[in-house]
Amino acid sequence: MKLLITSPAFSNPHMQSLIQYAREQADEVVLNPYGRTMTVDELKTVWDGVNGVIAGLEPYSAQVLEEAPASLKTICRFGVGYDSVDLAAAKARGIAVTNTPGTNSDAVADLAIGMMIAIARHIPQGDKSVRDGSWKRYTGLSMEGKKLGILGLGAIGKGVAKRAAGFSMDVYAYDPYFDEAFAAAHGVKKATLDEIFTQCDYITLHLPVLPETQGIINKETLGKMKPTAYLINAARGPLVKEDDLYEALKNNQIMGAALDVYSQEPLKDSPLFQLDNIVLTPHIGGNTREASYAMGKLAIDNALQILKGENCRFIVNP
């Protein structure tokens, strides 16, 4: 059994015991030598004879999968999202694709709340004003009593709802499969998309990328939001049409935004860089030591189960 670990998270010191774990289970383990997301050309230089990949964010399009070695039987995403993998093409090649749901939910929920505080209290700008000597004391907004709209009440959305209760926020949520029992237990009010867009002071995205959710934040929905509203996206970049968001922020159509994910990563030469009413972070939602370790362990276990012919309950292209 030969495993290829491409996720750059495994280059961190706290992940070394997981590499040893993989080596104890597999005949050979090949590591990403770059400490960053690999390009397709780089991937092709190390995947010969590989049976399973513990995958980062490198793309596995139909064309890439067509060129993959015949030995490849599974791609195990280090993370919850799997939109970087063409699931149908993988299934056609007999390649099982897995993810690691639930392992980073708390970490992403923490970041979503942190981003709300950062953008509402101008924390990045305040830090800069101290460093450059201008000592500008920004006037922010409190979170207490504000309406929080959560789009997607899955594990992460639920984590945000529980944390928001500590700030005495009035929490609303939209989800096609709304969890009535959780909502009742935690004081979450069921809402339509329009109700969230038109009434909420903070809107945080925790949806998967599907045909019906891609670009859900666009000129039309931004136009429905309150001019005092803040948008948070720590879910998936394609949920937001960034050009439309730029125009809304530039024209003060909404108060501000905070993004951890983007339509193309890494984000380069974006007009968003020109704005001071947005906080930008480099896709760090699940990037805590605890979450990284849990994701890594589950991704390796997924690969081992599949390659040993055992049942794996996290296959996303059955």
pLDDT per residue as tens digits for the range 108-132: 999 999 999 999 999 999 999 999 9
Q: Regarding the domain delimited by 2-103+288-307, which CATH topology (the fold level of the hierarchy) does it fall under?
A: Rossmann fold (3.40.50)
DSSP 306: H
Single-letter amino acid, residue 21 = Y
Residues of the chain with CATH 3.40.50.720: 2-103+288-307, 105-280
First to last CA, the chain: 22
SS3 state at 74 = strand
Quote the crossing angle between the two packed helices 123-131 and 105-120, to the nearest 10°.
60
Full-model pTM:
0.87
Q: What is the pLDDT of residues 33-62, one digit of tens each?
A: 998 999 999 999 999 999 999 999 999 999
What pLDDT is attached to residue 81? 84
Q: Outline where 82-150 has alpha helix (H).
A: 87-92, 105-120, 123-131
CATH number of 105-280: 3.40.50.720
What pLDDT is attached to residue 254? 98
C-alpha–C-alpha distance, residues 65 and 231, integer Å: 36
Confidence check: pLDDT of 310 > 90: yes
**Cβ neighbours of residue 162 closer than 8 Å, sequence gap 6 or more:** 109, 186
Which uninterrupted H or E stretch holds 317?
Answer: none
Q: The tokens of 225 are what?
A: 């939001």
Q: What is the pLDDT of residues 196-235, one digit of tens each?
A: 999 999 999 999 999 999 999 999 999 999 999 999 999 9
Report, as residue numbers or ranges, the catalytic residues: 236, 265, 283
What pLDDT is attached to residue 282? 95
What pLDDT is attached to residue 80? 85
Q: What is the pLDDT of residues 150-196, one digit of tens each?
A: 999 999 999 999 999 999 999 999 999 999 999 999 999 999 999 99
Distance (Å) of CA 108 to CA 98, 174, 237, 246, 316:
20, 18, 14, 24, 21
